[in-house]
C-alpha cells in the first residue's frame, strides 16, 4: 500500500513550477536566465499597506482571526463590492481566505460530489482542473475561440453543460490570455446559464484592476443580477495590490455556500493570516492611485512585448485587455529545425528550445489546455522584458525550415 493517496493520481504537479525548477537549475549552473513564467507583479507592496501590518503587529493584533475573517475586513470587502461592482453583500455573505486560491478551493471542496462536472473554458489557469479533480469532481474543458480574442462562444458553453454540471468557472480578465470579457460578452454567457438553473458561476475576478486602454470592468453578478443567487464572486489582493506573499483573498455569494466554505476552512487553515488581514483593510479602504500608475507601466510593457514578438518569425499575438500575460501563437515555428537539428513538434519543444538556447523561461500552451501557444508574463522590469523578447525573436530567426 502506498503512502500517497490514490486521489493524487488524478492530478499533476504544476507545470509552471516544473519550468521554474528547470530555470533555477540552469541559473545554478551559471547560465543567464530571464524567467517570464511567474504571475506576480515586480512592484513592492505600497507603503501604507505595509505600515498597517506593522501597526497591527505592534498593537498585538497577532492572534487568530474570527471565523470567516476580521469583521473590519469583511466590512471593507462589502464596501469594495458596492463601490466598484454595484453589488450589495452583508459581511455574513463574505469570507476572507488565504489568497484567492483558497476561496476557489474551498468552494469546490464544499460543493462537489463525485461525478459533478465543472465547465472550465480553455485556455485556463493551470490550477482549476486539478482543484476540481482533488475535490472529487470532473473537469469539462471547453475551448474558447482564439480568433475572437479567446471569447467563449455561447453555443460552445451550451454544448458543454450536462445535467451533472455544477459550476462554470469564469476568469475575467483571464490567465493565461489576458482576454477581457466585456458586459455584452458576460450577458451572452448569462443568457445561456438562464437555461440551466443547476449551474453555479464561480467568477474569478483576481485581475479585475489590471486593465488597459481605459477599459471598464464588469463582473457577471452585476450584469446579470438574476443569477446572483447562484454566483460566487472571488477576488483578492495578490495582483493589483502587489500582495502575492501576504495571502489574502475573499469571496462573496449566497449564505448557504459561504457557510459551507467557512466550515471547510475551519477544519483546514482556520483563518487567513491576521496581520495580513489588517493590511487588507488598509489596501481596500486606502489610496488606490498606485493601481493606475502600475497599469500604465504594465501597458507600456505589454506594448513593448507585443511589438517585438509580432515581428518575430512564426509568432503572432493579439492585444490583450487585462492581466499581465501574453499568450503567443507559435504555430508558425512548428515543424522548423533548431540550429542543433531538433525538429520542433509542439509548443513544449519550443519553450524548451527558448530556455536551452536563449535562457528564457516561458510556459507552453499545453499546460493551459490550448496549443500551440506559449505564455509569457510581463510583470518584470521593462529592460529585462525587452531583453527576453529580443532573445525570443533571435531564437525564431535562427530556426531553419525543415
Ligand X SMILES: Cc1ncc(COP(=O)(O)O)c(C=O)c1O
- Angle CA(323)–CA(293)–CA(202) in degrees, nearest 5? 30
Find the shortest distance in angstroms from Cβ 171 to ligand X: 5
| Residue 17: partners with Cβ closer than 8 Å, 6 or more residues away | none
Select 12 or 307, whichever has its Cβ closest to ligand X.
12
Find the shortest distance in angstroms from Cβ 314 to ligand X: 27
Find the shortest distance in angstroms from Cβ 105 to ligand X: 9
Burial of 141 per CB tally in 10 Å (0-12, 13-18, 19+): middle
Look at the block and give the residue holding cell 503512502. 3
Select 264 or 308, whichever has its Cβ closest to ligand X.
264
Asked if 244 interacts with ligand X (CB under 6 A), we say yes
Asked if 69 interacts with ligand X (CB under 6 A), we say no
Chain centre to alpha carbon of residue 90: 26
- Angle CA(379)–CA(384)–CA(390) in degrees, nearest 5? 110
Q: CB under 6 A: which stretch of 1-9, 97-105, 257-265, 335-343 binds ligand X?
A: 97-105
Per-residue x/- marks for ligand X, 250-289, CB under 6 A?
----------------------------------------
Select 171 or 222, whichever has its Cβ closest to ligand X.
171
Q: CB under 6 A: which stretch of 49-57, 96-104, 364-372, 385-393 binds ligand X?
A: 96-104
Among 168, 166, 107, smallest CA distance to 142 is for: 168
Q: CB under 6 A: which stretch of 81-89, 99-107, 269-277, 286-294 binds ligand X?
A: 99-107
Residue nearest ligand X (C-beta atom): 99
Q: Applying CB under 6 A, which of residues 16, 93, 165, 175 lies at the interface with ligand X? A: 175
Site for ligand X, residues 184 to 213, rule: CB under 6 A: 204, 206
Asked if 377 interacts with ligand X (CB under 6 A), we say no
Separation of alpha carbons 258 and 248, rounded Å: 16
Select 20 or 158, whichever has its Cβ closest to ligand X.
20
Find the shortest distance in angstroms from Cβ 304 to ligand X: 22
Per-residue x/- marks for ligand X, 5-44, CB under 6 A?
----------------------------------x-----
Select 101 or 218, whichever has its Cβ closest to ligand X.
101
Beta sheet of 200-204, edge-to-edge order:
94-97, 249-252, 231-236, 200-204, 165-171, 117-122, 138-143
Asked if 101 interacts with ligand X (CB under 6 A), we say yes
Asked if 111 interacts with ligand X (CB under 6 A), we say no
- Interface positions with ligand X (CB under 6 A): 39, 99-101, 125, 171, 175, 204, 206, 236, 238, 244, 249
Amino acid at each position: 500500500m502506498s503512502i500517497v493517496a490514490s486521489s493524487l493520481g488524478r492530478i499533476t504537479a504544476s507545470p509552471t513550477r516544473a519550468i521554474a525548477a528547470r530555470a533555477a537549475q540552469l541559473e545554478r549552473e551559471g547560465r543567464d536566465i530571464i524567467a517570464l513564467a511567474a504571475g506576480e507583479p515586480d512592484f513592492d507592496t505600497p507603503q501604507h499597506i505595509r505600515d498597517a501590518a506593522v501597526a497591527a503587529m505592534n498593537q498585538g493584533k497577532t492572534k487568530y482571526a474570527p471565523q470567516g475573517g476580521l469583521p473590519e475586513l469583511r466590512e471593507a470587502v462589502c464596501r469594495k463590492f458596492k463601490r466598484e461592482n454595484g453589488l450589495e453583500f452583508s459581511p455574513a455573505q463574505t469570507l476572507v481566505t488565504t489568497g484567492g486560491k483558497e476561496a476557489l478551493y474551498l468552494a469546490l471542496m464544499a460543493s462537489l460530489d463525485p461525478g459533478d462536472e465543472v465547465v472550465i473554458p480553455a485556455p485556463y489557469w493551470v490550477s482549476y482542473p486539478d482543484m476540481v479533480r482533488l475535490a472529487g469532481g470532473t473537469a469539462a474543458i471547453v475551448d474558447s475561440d482564439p480568433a475572437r480574442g479567446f471569447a467563449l462562444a455561447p453555443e460552445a458553453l451550451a454544448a458543454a453543460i450536462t445535467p451533472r454540471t455544477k459550476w462554470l468557472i469564469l476568469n475575467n480578465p483571464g490567465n493565461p490570455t489576458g482576454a477581457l470579457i466585456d458586459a455584452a460578452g458576460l450577458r451572452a454567457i448569462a443568457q445561456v446559464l438562464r437555461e440551466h438553473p443547476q449551474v453555479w458561476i464561480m467568477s474569478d475576478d483576481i485581475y479585475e484592476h489590471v486593465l488597459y486602454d481605459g477599459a471598464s470592468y464588469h463582473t457577471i453578478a452585476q450584469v446579470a443580477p438574476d443569477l446572483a443567487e447562484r454566483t460566487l464572486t472571488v477576488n483578492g489582493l495578490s495582483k493589483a495590490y502587489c500582495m502575492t506573499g501576504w495571502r489574502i483573498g475573499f469571496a462573496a455569494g449566497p449564505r448557504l455556500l459561504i457557510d459551507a466554505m467557512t466550515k471547510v476552512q475551519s477544519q483546514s487553515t482556520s483563518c487567513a493570516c491576521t496581520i495580513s488581514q489588517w493590511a487588507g483593510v488598509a489596501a481596500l479602504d486606502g489610496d488606490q492611485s498606485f493601481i493606475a500608475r502600475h497599469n500604465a507601466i504594465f501597458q507600456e510593457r505589454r506594448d513593448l512585448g507585443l511589438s517585438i514578438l509580432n515581428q518575430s518569425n512564426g509568432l503572432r499575438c493579439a492585444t490583450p485587455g487585462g492581466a499581465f500575460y501574453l499568450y503567443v501563437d507559435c504555430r508558425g515555428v512548428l515543424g522548423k529545425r533548431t540550429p542543433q537539428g531538433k525538429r520542433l513538434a509542439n509548443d513544449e519543444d519550443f519553450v524548451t528550445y527558448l530556455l536551452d538556447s536563449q535562457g528564457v523561461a516561458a510556459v507552453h500552451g499545453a499546460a493551459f489546455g490550448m496549443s500551440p501557444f506559449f505564455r509569457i508574463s510581463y510583470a518584470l522590469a521593462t529592460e529585462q522584458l525587452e531583453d527576453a523578447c529580443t532573445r525570443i525573436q533571435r531564437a525564431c530567426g535562427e530556426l531553419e525550415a525543415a
